């Protein structure tokens, strides 16, 4: 069993997983502050459609995944400017996306295996090329977040005053959706479309139970995301059970621990 | 006139054909504490949004510090309605205040000493040091609103716009907030425009009252404005102003001055 650690696919999985977890850990606190869990799920499902469509038309599924996430993010951002409309806009776009996805699956039955990896993640199958791709997308997401960090945080937690201080609140909400689209595409390769929230919501949700210090929330969120991802890969390598099962389980445990003991340490 | 911080001349605002206010001509001198009252839907908040440069006036001219309102004008401080924060939100009072200083700037903030000193100083001024490191959602409405005041003042504004900052606060907190704002105005020569639906908490500090009443508007000192004759004329219906034990009650019109307990139940809070 220990001999498995010598294989390149394990190294690649750990590398791509860690990069993805760092990205998820940084984006997560913004998702929770903006109550955008539903949007994340919606983007991921539309991403599935994009991947299915790309395969059907002879492109790489990653391109379809990112492209569809991006288009859906734009659509959600432009349709649902106001918070109350946002859920409806997301729900409509995501249901349409899944409908197309089903159609693509039926039209191209050989796609079933790939569909399974996109729905549930396939981090142990990433190639060296995929690692480079992850790093590139991750770098873009992190650079974009650093650039908009302060006004985005202001707009997320205190939109009225942010607007009064001249922060372009609406523009930032579209920009953040685009950042989110990339982060979702990145996280799909580890945990898959259907388990996306376990990486993008739970680490940040746990971190905010542990501290109210905004900087530390990001740091804890990264640590938890990396911990559950690496733990998940290790668990899968030892047992040959799915990575996403372990990641989701570790996330749940972290969250429950955070809920139970968080209030005592949080100041 | 050159000393006017805010100058409106025949300014008007319409939303999809409906006139909110029109021919509004008001000159607010430096250091004045101007209270804006009026029934719901008469454009009190919209007036602040016009001054903040978030909403262009439909007609007339509006000048702030001698120029057209600019979005994100650093000379303006803004205090919004008290709106409870989520108890789980990872944000402390000092973070909220710091956002008033650099939250609109791009990029991330490195540990800026000068800004930290300014934040600490303003926290001391509003008396919020003891809970500045507590998650903001755990604080009472009055404590949160003190931090809001600090957030608005930390940039050292010469014009302070307050949009119903007393809403849902208890009487003691209302007094604390009003005194903080009034003292800042006096000591810094800053102008305050204070929107409220209850004149009682601000009567002692108000220089003038601007009443927006739909088709009409009026401006004057508290004594001149809060009379049965003045209000009846502005509303176009008989209105009675009753003074009792230093408090004002307005009868026959949808306007502040209620007994505070009645006003709170009316708000459904």
- CB-based burial, B143-166: b 16+ in 10 Å, e otherwise: bbbbbbbbbbbbbebbbbbbbbbb
How many angstroms separate the CA atoms of B126 and A51, rounded? 55
Please measure the distance between the N-terminal and C-terminal CA atoms of chain B and give it in whole angstroms.
42
What pLDDT, in 10s, does the model give residues B181-240?
999 999 999 999 999 988 899 999 999 999 998 888 999 999 899 889 888 888 888 888
Higher pLDDT, B84 or A30: A30
The mean pLDDT value for A163-169 works out to: 95
Residues 6+ away with beta carbon under 8 Å from A139: none
B61 with B8: CB under 8 angstroms?
Answer: yes
In a 3-state reduction of DSSP, which class is residue A163? helix
From CA B242, how far away is CA B264, in angstroms rounded? Answer: 19
Picking from A183, A135, A175, A231, the residue whose alpha carbon sits closest to that of residue A26 is A183
- The mean pLDDT of B248-269, rounded to a whole number, is 50
Query: Are residues A24 and A182 in contact, defined by beta-carbon separation less than 8 angstroms?
Result: no
In angstroms, the CA B94 to CA B119 distance is 7
CA gap B26, B11 in Å, rounded = 9
Residue A267's pLDDT is 52
| pLDDT band (50, 70, 90) for residue B174 | very high
Residue A91 belongs to what H/E stretch? helix A83-107
- Pairing assessment for the beta strands B18-29 and B4-15 based on DSSP bridges: antiparallel
Q: In the structure, what pLDDT confidence band is assigned to residue B153 with cuts at 50, 70 and 90?
A: very high
Say if B110 is an interface residue toward chain A (CB within 8 Å). no
Lowest mean pLDDT among A72-81, A127-136, B26-35: A72-81
Which position has the higher pLDDT, B112 or A242? A242
Yes or no: say if A101 and A209 are a contact pair by the CB < 8 Å rule.
no
User: What local confidence, expressed as pLDDT, does residue B178 receive?
Assistant: 96
Of B91, B99, B106, the CB nearest to A147: B106
The pair of structure tokens assigned to B61 is 């001219």
Task: Flag if B100 and A161 touch (Cβ within 8 Å).
Answer: yes
Q: Are the beta carbons of A29 and B106 separated by less than 8 Å? A: no
pLDDT tens, residue by residue, A82-122: 666 777 878 888 888 888 888 888 887 777 777 888 888 88
Q: Residue A259's closest chain B neighbor by CA?
A: B88
Cβ contact, residue pair B78, A161, below 8 Å? yes
A 21-40 residues with CB < 8 A to B: 29, 33
Would you call B72 and A166 a contact, using CB atoms and an 8 Å cutoff? yes
Q: Give the torsion sign (CA, A183, A189, A191, A196).
A: positive
pLDDT tens for each residue of B37-60? 988 888 999 999 999 999 999 999
pTM of the model: 0.90
pLDDT of A162 reads: 96
Supply the pLDDT for residue B41: 83
Residue B258 sits at φ, ψ, to 5 deg, of: -65, 165
The answer, yes or no, to whether residue B257 has pLDDT greater than 60, is no
Interacting residues of A102 by C-beta distance below 8 A, sequence separation 6+: none
Least confidently predicted of A109-118, A126-135, B11-20: A109-118
What is the pLDDT, as a whole number, of residue A226? 97
Query: Does the pLDDT at position A263 exceed 80?
Result: no
> Measured between alpha carbons, how far is B198 from B166 in angstroms, rounded to an integer?
9
Instruction: Return residues 118-177 of A near B (CB < 8 Å).
Output: 146-151, 153-154, 157-158, 160-167
Share of chain A above pLDDT 70, in %: 95
Q: φ and ψ at A157, to 5 degrees?
A: -100, -20
Find the range with the poorest average confidence among A41-55, A216-230, B249-263.
B249-263
Which residue has tokens 């960090």? A149
Contact B103 A211 (CB under 8 A): no
Res B269 pLDDT > 80: no
- The whole-number average pLDDT for the span B111-115 is 87
Mean of all residue pLDDT scores within chain B: 89
How far is Cα A61 from Cα B181, in angstroms, rounded to an integer?
A: 59
Contact state of A164 with B133 under an 8 Å Cβ cutoff = no
User: How much helix, strand and coil, in percent to the nearest 5, is found in chain B?
Assistant: 35, 25, 40
Does residue A191 contact residue A198 with C-beta atoms inside 8 Å? yes
List b or e across A195-228, with b for residues whose CB sees 16 or more CB atoms inside 10 angstroms.
Answer: bbbbbbbbbbbbbbbbbbbbeebbebbbbbbbbb
CA nearest neighbour of A125 among A183, A185, A188: A188
State both tokens at B93. 């009072």
Q: How far is CA B39 from CA A232, B218, B237, in A?
A: 59, 13, 14
Q: What does the alpha-carbon distance between residue A246 and residue B222 come to, in Å, rounded to a whole number? A: 68
Q: What percent of chain B has pLDDT over 70?
A: 93
Read off the pLDDT of residues A189-244 as tens digits, 9 standing for 90 and up: 888 988 899 999 999 999 999 999 999 999 999 999 999 999 999 999 999 899 99
Residues whose CB falls within 8 Å of the CB of residue B32, separated by 6 or more in sequence, listed in order: B5, B191, B192, B207, B208
Residue of A nearest to B71 (CA): A166
pLDDT recorded at residue A265: 58
Please classify residue A106 by burial: count the beta carbons closer than 10 Å to its beta carbon, then call 0-12 exposed, 13-18 middle and 19+ buried: exposed
Nearest chain A residue to B134 by CA: give it.
A267
The DSSP output letter for A73 is H
Hey, are the CB atoms on B73 and A166 less than 8 Å from each other? yes
pLDDT score, position A79: 73
| CB–CB contact A212 B90 (8 Å) | yes
Q: Is the pLDDT of residue A10 over 50?
A: yes
Interface of A with B in 205-264 (CB under 8 A): 207-209, 211-214, 217
Mean of all residue pLDDT scores within chain A:
89
Inter-chain contact B52–A164, Cβ cutoff 8 Å?
yes
pLDDT at B266: 33
């Amino acid at each position: 069993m220990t001999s498995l650690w010598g294989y390149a696919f394990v190294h690649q999985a750990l590398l791509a997983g860690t990069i993805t977890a760092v990205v998820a850990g940084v984006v997560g606190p913004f998702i929770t502050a903006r109550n955008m869990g539903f949007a994340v799920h919606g983007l991921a499902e539309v991403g599935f459609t994009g991947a299915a469509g790309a395969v059907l038309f002879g492109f790489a599924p990653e391109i379809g995944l990112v492209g569809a996430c991006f288009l859906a993010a734009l659509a959600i951002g432009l349709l649902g400017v106001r918070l109350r409309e946002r859920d409806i806009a997301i729900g409509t776009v995501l249901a349409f996306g899944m409908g197309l996805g089903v159609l693509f699956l039926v039209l191209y039955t050989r796609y079933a295996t790939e569909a399974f990896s996109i729905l549930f993640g396939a981090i142990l199958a990433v190639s060296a090329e995929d690692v480079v791709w992850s790093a590139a997308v991750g770098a873009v997401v992190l650079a974009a977040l650093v650039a908009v960090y302060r006004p985005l945080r202001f707009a997320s937690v205190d939109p009225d005053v942010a607007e009064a201080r001249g922060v372009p609140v609406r523009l930032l909400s579209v920009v953040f959706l685009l950042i989110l689209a990339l982060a979702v595409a990145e996280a799909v390769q580890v945990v898959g479309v259907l388990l996306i929230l376990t990486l993008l919501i739970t680490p940040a949700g746990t971190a905010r139970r542990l501290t109210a210090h905004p900087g530390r929330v990001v740091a804890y969120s990264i640590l938890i995301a990396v911990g559950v991802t690496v733990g998940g890969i290790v668990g899968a390598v030892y047992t040959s059970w799915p990575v996403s099962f372990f990641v989701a389980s570790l996330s749940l445990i972290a969250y429950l621990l955070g809920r139970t003991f968080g209030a005592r340490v949080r100041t | 006139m050159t000393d006017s911080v805010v100058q409106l001349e025949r300014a008007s605002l319409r939303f999809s054909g409906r006139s909110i206010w029109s021919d509004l001509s008001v000159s607010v001198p430096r250091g004045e504490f101007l209270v804006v009252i009026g029934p719901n839907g008469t454009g009190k908040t919209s007036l602040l949004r016009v001054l903040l440069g978030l909403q262009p006036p439909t007609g007339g001219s509006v000048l702030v510090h001698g120029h057209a309102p600019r979005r994100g004008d650093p000379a303006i401080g803004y205090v919004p309605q008290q709106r409870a924060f989520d108890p789980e939100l990872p944000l402390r009072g000092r973070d909220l205040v710091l956002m008033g200083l650099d939250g609109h700037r791009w990029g991330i903030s490195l540990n800026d000493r000068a800004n930290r000193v300014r934040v600490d100083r303003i926290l001391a001024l509003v008396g919020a040091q003891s809970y500045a490191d507590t998650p903001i959602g755990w604080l009472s409405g009055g404590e949160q609103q003190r931090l809001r005041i600090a957030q608005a003042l930390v940039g050292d504004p010469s014009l302070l716009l307050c949009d119903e900052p007393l809403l849902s606060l208890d009487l003691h907190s209302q007094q604390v907030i009003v005194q903080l704002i009034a003292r800042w105005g006096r000591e810094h020569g800053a102008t305050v425009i204070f929107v409220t639906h209850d004149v009682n908490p601000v009567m002692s500090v108000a220089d003038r009252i601007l009443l927006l009443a739909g088709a009409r508007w009026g401006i004057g000192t508290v004594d001149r404005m809060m009379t049965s004759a003045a209000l009846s004329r502005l509303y176009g219906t008989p209105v009675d102003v009753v003074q009792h034990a230093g408090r004002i009650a307005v009868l026959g019109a949808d306007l502040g001055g209620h007994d505070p307990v009645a006003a709170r139940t009316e708000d459904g809070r």
